[in-house]
Amino acid sequence: MNNRKGGAESLKILQIPTGGLFSDGILSCIVEYMTAMDRSGMDIRVLATNNPDESIVQRVENSGCKVVSIPYRKKNIVKYLYVLRRYIAKEKIDIVHVHGSSAIMSVELLAAKLAGCKVRIAHSHNTTCENKKVDQMLRPLFNKLHTERFACGQEAGKWMFGTQSFMVIPNGRSLQKYEYNSEKRVQYRNKLNVPANAFIIGHVGRFNDQKNHEYLIRIFSEFYKKNPNAHLVLIGTGDTVDKTKRQVIEQGLESQVIFTGAINNVSDYLSAFDVMLLPSLYEGLPLVVIEWQISGLPCIISDTITKECAITSLVKYESIKELPAVWVKDIEEFKIENRDINREAILNAMRIAGYDIDEGARKLREIYERLCPNMHSS
């Protein structure tokens, strides 16, 4: 732990991704910001509300944060609330930063308030949620519990906070880490055991109903009929992975579809791909679309997704109500032969739009220090 100048204690911050520690956009946001941030004089912890994979714990720890486990949220919410409140009070946490998609964040915000934590941030990462009844029921309580309002984008903020003011914290990325690399293209195609001339469609995301893998497989099945050199690479884990594997077998696509599971170096694999698909039912401001653009990849995404994530001309929106053949036509028309050509222009567009993580992390640190003026170093 880094102590603050003049013998003062470190500023203690607890990051809480309410859905648990999974390889998803919220975790990526936390890890990227914490890795890039100057954490001197700060003691930053990340709460696991589930029992995460060891690789994910390692990823958080590599970003300079400690993982705290209170894995009762789904099984016993009352016990979770009690243990979390006691932890925040005992550890004298200065800032509780809650990440989620609905007013169910009230559970963590209530624990923080009861524990006497003065700075309680609600951070919206989506434009809708799965359990709308509970969300609506908790809204009045939610609005009394948070002291600060953050959102990944304008639409996610409006969804969560309505007419109240909020601060946009862009889901920034390391531009160097994600930019296209021709050597990595060869290296990671070899790792995937895919021929050099293969056309690779990629998808990165948790396996759940929101991500709409069933429709994605149907699109790929149609594309493969016309393009026998096509492969589909699915990066991620989740509840619907077995269901998706069964669908792949039923369609006779086992030799063409690769399930990588959770991997920590997604940025390296992007250079190996040719086009990315994201036919989600809904999203906030999906980090993956930012990453794919940095890498110079064409992205065809659902028109339910906010237009805010189209920083470059590499993004095309399409309706998930269309037949898969429409998406197939988009893929065929949206191929890019040389990803090196517009690389500098793409990176500049990302910087201008506020997606350079180094600048974003500097600003976030300033916000934390402003929220706890008595704590920050002189």
Tell me the pLDDT tens digit for each residue of 326-367. Answer: 999 999 998 887 888 888 999 999 999 989 999 999 999 999
CA distances from 277 to 8, 202, 228, 265 (A): 49, 6, 18, 19
114-152 pLDDT, tens digit per residue, is: 999 999 999 999 888 889 999 999 999 999 999 999 999
5 has a pLDDT exceeding 60: no
d(CA 72, CA 25): 22
d(CA 221, CA 216): 9
Mean pLDDT of 216-232: 97
pTM of the complete model? 0.79
List the one residue out of 333, 334, 347 whose CA is nearest residue 295: 347
Q: Which domains are seen in the chain, by residue range?
A: 5-172+356-371 (3.40.50.2000), 175-352 (3.40.50.2000)
List the one residue out of 233, 232, 291, 235 whose CA is nearest residue 262: 235
Cβ-based neighbours of 246, under 8 Å, separated by 6 or more: none
3 state DSSP class of 275:
strand
List the one residue out of 236, 220, 350, 219 whose CA is nearest residue 295: 350
C-beta separation of 134 from 124 below 8 A? no
Q: What does the pLDDT read at residue 9?
A: 83
Give all strands of the β-sheet with 275-278 in edge-to-edge order: 257-261, 230-235, 199-204, 275-278, 299-302, 315-318
142-166 pLDDT, tens digit per residue, is: 999 999 999 998 999 999 999 999 9
C-beta separation of 236 from 23 below 8 A? yes
Query: Among 107-116, 130-139, 255-264, 282-291, whose mean pLDDT is lowest?
Result: 282-291
Q: What does the pLDDT read at residue 7?
A: 46
Q: What share of the chain is helix, strand, coil (3-state, %, to 5)?
A: 45, 20, 40
3 state DSSP class of 330:
helix
171 has a pLDDT exceeding 90: no
List the one residue out of 131, 113, 111 whose CA is nearest residue 19: 131
Q: What does the pLDDT read at residue 23?
A: 77
More confident residue, 286 or 18: 18
d(CA 266, CA 178): 9
Q: What does the pLDDT read at residue 378?
A: 40
Percentage of the chain surpassing pLDDT 70?
A: 97
Q: What does the pLDDT read at residue 375?
A: 63
